[in-house]
Structure formats: structure tokens, C-alpha cells
Amino acid sequence: MDPLTDVLTALSHPSRRDIVRRLATAPARFTDVARPLDVSLNAVTKHLKLLERAGLIEREKRGREVFISLQPGPLRLVAGWMHEYERFWNARLDRFEQHFTEKKKEKKR
Amino acid sequence: MNASAKTLEFTFERTIPASPAEVFDAWLDPKVPGNPWNAAEKFILDPKVDGLFYWRLTTNTHYGRFTKVDRPARIEHTWVSPSTQGRESMVTVTFAKQGENTLMTLVHSDLPDTDGGRGHEKGWNYFLGIFPGQFGGDPLKKR
């Protein structure tokens, strides 16, 4: 899947948004991430995998503990997707490209 | 807003099946669908350095001045609209030969990073409404 879809999927579940909010203040251990969520540890692992796939978190081993930190970079993809000019230019350029594709097809006929 | 305010930049690329000169000319030809001037209800277009453009779509007006017109490689102009809060943003379009095609790159930079810019749905909905009906395609599908 494309990176934007991965980020939107990652943010589509309230528990995963809670994790992102929690990690926005500081990195945390797995148990700290799991504790406030009212779900099984297995479910937390699955949530973390989706966040990791989107590039929103990183795991770092420090001694025996694994710390999870937020990587906010991919969130900009969402901001960009929502931007007026992102949509405007994509629509315009798609139409412009289509004009030439149609012209080329006509020439071939 | 001051000079140190955060700005956004977007880059778009398309491969167009024509020569750079053809693509360059089409981008400045209001009769060609897809360029910024084509959908305008009213427009003024003077594509030379220090030449000005103006276009209006419903109540949405855009203004700018050309800073570089270098056929067939490069067009640069400023872009002022309600979404830029009256400030000059910058649009740079380059055309590079790629075999028989042209790699067209459009960079829209110096856009203010505000909710006004991010939240606007009106402009896009207008185009979404027009394009699928007129051309039988959904512009979103390609993305």
C-alpha cells in the first residue's frame, strides 16, 4: 500500500490514536503503552505493528527494555493530502496530461 | 504573519507524451484543458517576465506576476489567492525531455501553513464536480 494509506489506516483506530498521543510527549516502554488501553496485549502488539508499518513509531532496545518512540514525519502526508493546492494541482495536471494522451490516441487513428 | 512563518511546499510530476516545447506552449494556452487559466470565467494572461496574470473562478480570484519565462524549459510566477492570505506564493514549472516524452514538474512553494490552506474543501469540490461528468473519469482514481 502507499505511504499515505498506511498512515490513514494507522490513525483510523481510536486505540492507535491514543498510542500516538501518549508517545507524543515522550518515548515509552511497551507495558506503559499497553496499560491505559483496555485491550489484550496481543491487540496492543497488532496496533503497534500497524503504526510501525506507517513509519509512525520506532522501537529501540535499551538493555532489557524496548522503548517505543513516535516518528511524526509521516503525519505531514496527511496534512499535505488535505491541502487545497495539493488537490487543485493534481486535478489540473491530471486533466492536462489527459489532454495530451487523447491527442496522441487521435494521431494514431 | 511574519517572514519566519512556516510555509508548505508541494511537488507534482507528470510524464506528458509530447515534446517540452509543445507542453510548455500548452501550459500557457488558455484553450488547453488543465492549465490554471483554462477553467477561469475571466482571465488576463501576459506570460513574459514582469507580465501579470489574473483569473477568477466564481468568487475565487488569483493574481500573479511572471518572474521567469524560459521556453521550453521553465516557467516561474508568483501566486496570490485568498488561501495565501494575500501573500505571494511561488509556482515553478519545469519541462525536461525524457525520450519522446516530457517530464513536467510543478512546485508550489511558500504557501502559508495555516488552517485556511489545509481546510478548504470548496475549490476541490468544484473540480471534482466538473471533471468526472465532463470527461467520464474520476481524477482521484489515479492517485
Evaluate if residue A36 carries a pLDDT over 80: yes
Inter-axis angle of helices A41-53 and A14-25, nearest 10: 70
Q: Which residue of A has its CA nearest to B108?
A: A85
In the block, residue with C-alpha cell 483496555? A38
Q: Which residue of B has its CA nearest to A94?
A: B139
pLDDT digits (tens, 9 = 90+) for B89-104: 999 999 999 999 999 9
In this complex, which of B106, B118, B135 lies closest to A89 when CB atoms are compared? B106
Residue B2 DSSP SS3: coil
In chain A, what's the furthest Cα-to-Cα distance?
A: 69
CB contact under 8 A, B33 and A83: no
CB contact under 8 A, A100 and B120: no
DSSP letters along A48-100, please? HHHHHHTT-EEEEEETTEEEEEE--TTHHHHHHHH-HHHHHHHHHHHHHHHHH
In this complex, which of A80, A86, A100 lies closest to B16 when CB atoms are compared? A100
Most trustworthy range by pLDDT among A60-64, B7-11, B110-114, B132-136: A60-64
Cα gap B26→A96, rounded to integer Å: 9
Interface test with A, best of B7, B9, B10, B101 (most A CBs within 10 A): B10
Find, among A103, A106, A89, the residue nearest to B23 by Cα. A103
pLDDT digits (tens, 9 = 90+) for B45-77: 999 999 999 999 877 889 999 999 999 999 999
Structure ipTM over 0.95, yes or no: no
